[in-house]
Amino acid sequence: MNRNPFIVLVDIDAPLALWEEGLVAAARRHFPGVRTADAGSRVEWNLHTGLTAAENHAVTEVMEMPGFYRSLEPVPGAVRALHEMLDSGIEVFLCSTTTLELLRAGDVSPVLAAAARDAASWAG
């Protein structure tokens, strides 16, 4: 079998989906009494830096919600590009990351499980 030698890793959060915008909108919708900074206003990569306990809880709860990743709006042109790569025989893997705090605690499963469940829907 003649395989395409290319493997492409596509990050879910921003190259494929408008993750931060979706997170902010969902946090404001589900936790209206909790302050949520505007998308694009963070100055730290770690989205938990500087948050209160209530803000941390809201962010984590939203990321673990079933269907959260599926509900994200795609970056314009991203789904088409994903399908073009798949149609040309390129092996495409969707990737994401987690916070160092969750890695240290050994508790990455809820967020990654939610992402894995939902991200497959973008590949159609």
- Which residues are catalytically annotated? 11, 13
Rounded distance between C-alpha atoms, residue 88 and residue 83, angstroms: 8
